[in-house]
A and B are shown apart, each in its own frame.
Chain A
Amino acid sequence: MKGELRNFWKGEGLVNFCSSILAVAWGLIFGLFILIISNPQQAYSGFMMIMQGGFTDGIQGIGQVLYLATPIIMTGLSVGFAFKTGLFNIGAAGQFTAGAFAAVFVGVKFTFLPVGVHCLVALLAALLAGALWGMIPGLLKAFFNVNEVIASIMMNYIGMYMVNMLIQRTVYDQIKNQTQPVAPGANLPRAGLDKLFPGTNINIGILVAVLFVIIIYMILNKTTFGYELKACGKNPNASRYAGINEKRNIVLSMVISGALSGMGGALLYLANSGRYMQVLDVISPEGFAGISVALLGLSNPIGILFAGLFIGHITVGGYNMQLFDFAPEVIDMIIAAIIYCGALSLLFRNLMSRIRMQKSRKAERTGQKQNAKEERES
């Protein structure tokens, strides 16, 4: 662990971390700029609301941040995992919807299951549905060379319409244009967290998300399978030459990625928070938020955890900002600006590595001088 920490300070880790922080800073400055243009009098107070985010309402706000962060940490993990294996899973939204529907369907219909088991079965159903939805673009990519970005975007739309149709035919509440509520036994247990954060919708979902962060970290960094996946992402030709089954890895990577998104859907809609799946022609925003989370967290599971919390934080800030007559969409603009600056971070990284190279060259030179001196003296 100590060695890893030292690596973090010396190696890529620090540079990546700094470039992320820098991107966030630029994004926030951009947000302030927009607020100033649109309403100069309120801009400063509005901006402070964003910065304070979840901390504005004390413990309740923090609980809200954790609740909002849970699904986007899952979709972020999903997108980030696929990134690590060289795939851009822009279809997290569709997989999220598929998983959410499976969980809600089991939650509403399978009332014969005992309380604890019911919830587990619902989660499992979500995992499977998400995995299935991720598998299709994976298969198309592996065997038909279809660009996974386009394929998974198409799957987003197909998933949205299909889930709308299935909701209307199975678990529909016609009056409210949404799904029926799930049975109480299928909701995620609160496990005392609601006592810790009174007045919020928090439940063990956030702990499940953290568990998945650890699992994905382990898979990517401690197993042969994870190594193979990353090798395929870095250089498909070299890994094929090394005897790695590239096609199998593409499919598996998309399956796991899809399962993670599907889980995110279950964690959101089994939270007993009064949110129901609605029949609207809108692609679920949590899926796209996952892309932002993954990019901001640099596809590192630990980074994704913090990126998810950060985005949850400023999203709460965005809601609070409506007090000052600002539309909360400014948050999405800030996030987009952060992602854009993150894409530009190469400039920053080059700068850092140049500084580092100069340092090491200097050290080399002084070392050589010392060596020469010693030789002369002897």
Chain B
Amino acid sequence: MSVVYFIVQQTMFFAIPLLIVAIGAMYSERSGVINIALEGIMIMGAFVGIFFINAFQDSMSGQGLLLLTILVVGIAGGLFSLLHAFASINMKADQTISGTALNMFAPAFAIFTARMIQGVQQVQFADTFHVAKVPVLGDIPVIGSLFFQNCYITTYLGIAIFLAAAYVIKHTRFGLRLRACGEHPGAADSVGVNVARIRYAGVIISGVLAGIGGLVFVIPTSTNFNASVAGYGFLAIAVLIFGQWRSNKILMAAFFFGVMKTLASAYSAIPFLKSIPIPNEVYKMIPYVATLIVLAFSSKNSQAPKAEGIPYDKGSR
């Protein structure tokens, strides 16, 4: 039974950041802007966050510091994504190219800044955020050990973000307008929706969430940050496509990848898998191979937003 607990707890560490970033990407793409810069924004968010923790961990610690950092990281991610929004909305630039530029910029910035300030590129931090057991809830049999022991508050925050995001895009006026801008910006514009402003909102939301996702990815899985989030930004885009740009399916897709990734990184702690003579690298490949296979089956009838990736030009209405 302890193996099951272990797998579920590990899966949370991998699935929650994917869920947060993918649900953010949904906002950007359904407003009509492809955001391939998620990887870069995650790196930026994680870097700013870990650096912030590194600077303030002497005077603060625990959940207060974590929540404050998440706030800072969200702002950093949002600001960084503005570059992408400006290029793709105002300048009508090729969105893949501007996203690629951000992806290249973020790791270089993280390494450069870390080396100029502290000499080495790894930024260390002390993990004072781990929760061994949530009071009261952690004592519930089975469920307590599954979900409320050996965890981080980011898990619950991630689920809260997901619920809020899923509600907003489906049941509010803003969500409806956002979806309209992604499907038919001309029609939205003709009834008085400001397409540029809605798209800015979409990109900024994705930036804020990607920044938070970057931090949420690094904290449970490491004690230093080395200018990389291991391709999680790209995996989040895969989750988005696999989830067909719909929030419920994104939830399932994120947990599917979370399980895959857990098997890849923690197989040696699972007695059954450890006994099979399969090399380490094969396990590491599993999440990526699974992504390809899953995409091959789910891309045929893609429900991508119609106006995705096309800059809106008033003249073409």
A-side residues, CB < 8 A to B, are: 34, 38-39, 88, 90, 136, 140, 144-147, 149-151, 153-158, 161-162, 164-165, 281, 288, 291-292, 295, 326-327, 329-333, 335-337, 339-340, 342-344, 346-347
Residues of B within 8 A of A165 (CB): 279-282
Interface stretch, picked from B59-67, B144-152, B230-238, is: B230-238
Question: When the two chains form their complex, are residues A147 and B241 in contact, meaning their CB atoms are under 8 A apart?
Answer: yes
Bits for B176-197, please: 1 = Cβ < 8 Å to A, else 0. Answer: 0000000000000000000000
Chain B: CB-nearest residue to A169: B279
Residues of B within 8 A of A153 (CB): 231, 234
On whether A154 and B97 interact (CB within 8 A), knowing A144-B299, A146-B295, A329-B111, the answer reads no
- A288–B105 Cα distance when bound, in Å, is 12
Chain B: CB-nearest residue to A326: B116
On whether A336 and B101 interact (CB within 8 A), knowing A154-B288, A164-B281, the answer reads yes
Question: When the two chains form their complex, are residues B299 and A145 in contact, meaning their CB atoms are under 8 A apart?
Answer: yes
- A292–B96 Cα distance when bound, in Å, is 12
On whether A145 and B281 interact (CB within 8 A), knowing A329-B111, A343-B91, the answer reads no
Chain B: CB-nearest residue to A345: B93
* B100 interface contact, C-beta 8 A: yes
Chain A: CB-nearest residue to B116: A38
- A339–B116 Cα distance when bound, in Å, is 24
Question: When the two chains form their complex, are residues A151 and B112 in contact, meaning their CB atoms are under 8 A apart?
Answer: no
Q: In the assembled complex, how far is the CB of residue A190 from the closest CB belonging to chain B, in whole angstroms?
A: 33
Question: When the two chains form their complex, are residues B96 and A145 in contact, meaning their CB atoms are under 8 A apart?
Answer: no
Question: When the two chains form their complex, are residues B93 and A335 in contact, meaning their CB atoms are under 8 A apart?
Answer: no
Chain A: CB-nearest residue to B311: A346
B-side residues, CB < 8 A to A, are: 36, 83, 87, 91-94, 96-98, 100-102, 104-105, 107-109, 111-112, 115-116, 231, 234, 237-238, 241, 279-282, 284-285, 288-289, 291-292, 295-297, 299-300, 302
SS of A interface (majority) = helix
Question: When the two chains form their complex, are residues A336 and B105 in contact, meaning their CB atoms are under 8 A apart?
Answer: yes
On whether A150 and B291 interact (CB within 8 A), knowing A329-B108, A337-B105, A339-B104, the answer reads yes
- A69–B237 Cα distance when bound, in Å, is 32
Residues of A within 8 A of B92 (CB): 346
Question: When the two chains form their complex, are residues A343 and B282 in contact, meaning their CB atoms are under 8 A apart?
Answer: no
- A335, A337, A343 pick with most chain B CB within 10 angstroms: A343
Chain B: CB-nearest residue to A335: B104
Cross-chain contact of B289 among A158, A331, A332 (Cβ < 8 A)? A158
Question: When the two chains form their complex, are residues B238 and A340 in contact, meaning their CB atoms are under 8 A apart?
Answer: no
Question: When the two chains form their complex, are residues B93 and A343 in contact, meaning their CB atoms are under 8 A apart?
Answer: yes
Cross-chain contact of B296 among A90, A140, A339 (Cβ < 8 A)? A140
Name 24 A/B residue pairs within 8 A (Cβ), A-sorted: A140-B296, A145-B302, A146-B292, A150-B238, A150-B241, A151-B295, A154-B234, A154-B288, A154-B291, A155-B292, A158-B288, A161-B284, A162-B285, A164-B281, A292-B104, A327-B116, A332-B107, A336-B101, A337-B105, A340-B87, A343-B93, A343-B94, A344-B91, A346-B91
- A144–B292 Cα distance when bound, in Å, is 11
Can you list the 7 inter-chain pairs with the closest CB atoms, starting with the nearest?
A332-B108, A336-B105, A165-B281, A340-B101, A343-B93, A336-B104, A327-B115
Residues of A within 8 A of B98 (CB): 340, 343-344
Q: In the assembled complex, how far is the CB of residue B209 from the closest CB belonging to chain A, in whole angstroms?
A: 19
- A38–B117 Cα distance when bound, in Å, is 9
- A282–B234 Cα distance when bound, in Å, is 15
Residues of A within 8 A of B292 (CB): 136, 140, 146, 151, 154-155, 158
Q: In the assembled complex, how far is the CB of residue B229 from the closest CB belonging to chain A, in whole angstroms?
A: 13
On whether A327 and B112 interact (CB within 8 A), knowing A145-B299, A153-B231, A340-B105, the answer reads yes
Q: In the assembled complex, how far is the CB of residue B28 from the closest CB belonging to chain A, in whole angstroms?
A: 15
- A146–B293 Cα distance when bound, in Å, is 10
Cross-chain contact of B295 among A34, A140, A327 (Cβ < 8 A)? A140
Residues of A within 8 A of B281 (CB): 161-162, 164-165
Residues of B within 8 A of A344 (CB): 87, 91, 93, 98
- A197–B151 Cα distance when bound, in Å, is 59
- A39–B98 Cα distance when bound, in Å, is 28
Cross-chain contact of A144 among B101, B288, B289, B296 (Cβ < 8 A)? B296
- A339–B97 Cα distance when bound, in Å, is 7
Cross-chain contact of B91 among A146, A150, A158, A347 (Cβ < 8 A)? A347
Cross-chain contact of B97 among A145, A147, A342 (Cβ < 8 A)? A342
Q: In the assembled complex, how far is the CB of residue A128 from the closest CB belonging to chain B, in whole angstroms?
A: 21
Question: When the two chains form their complex, are residues B295 and A333 in contact, meaning their CB atoms are under 8 A apart?
Answer: no
Residues of A within 8 A of B105 (CB): 332-333, 336-337, 340
Residues of B within 8 A of A291 (CB): 100, 104
- A164–B284 Cα distance when bound, in Å, is 11
Cross-chain contact of A157 among B36, B102, B108, B231 (Cβ < 8 A)? B231
- A162–B284 Cα distance when bound, in Å, is 9
Chain A: CB-nearest residue to B92: A346
Cross-chain contact of A295 among B36, B97, B108, B299 (Cβ < 8 A)? B97
Question: When the two chains form their complex, are residues A150 and B295 in contact, meaning their CB atoms are under 8 A apart?
Answer: yes
Q: In the assembled complex, how far is the CB of residue B96 from the closest CB belonging to chain A, in whole angstroms?
A: 6
Q: Told that A90-B100, A153-B234, A330-B108 touch, could you supply 13 new A-B pairs with CB distance under 8 A? A: A149-B96, A150-B234, A150-B241, A150-B295, A154-B288, A157-B285, A161-B281, A165-B281, A288-B104, A292-B104, A329-B108, A344-B93, A346-B92
- A177–B241 Cα distance when bound, in Å, is 38
Cross-chain contact of A329 among B115, B241, B279, B289 (Cβ < 8 A)? B115
On whether A146 and B299 interact (CB within 8 A), knowing A162-B285, A327-B116, A333-B105, the answer reads yes
Q: In the assembled complex, how far is the CB of residue A152 from the closest CB belonging to chain B, in whole angstroms?
A: 10
Q: In the assembled complex, how far is the CB of residue B276 from the closest CB belonging to chain A, in whole angstroms?
A: 16
Q: In the assembled complex, how far is the CB of residue B257 from the closest CB belonging to chain A, in whole angstroms?
A: 12
Q: In the assembled complex, how far is the CB of residue A266 from the closest CB belonging to chain B, in whole angstroms?
A: 22
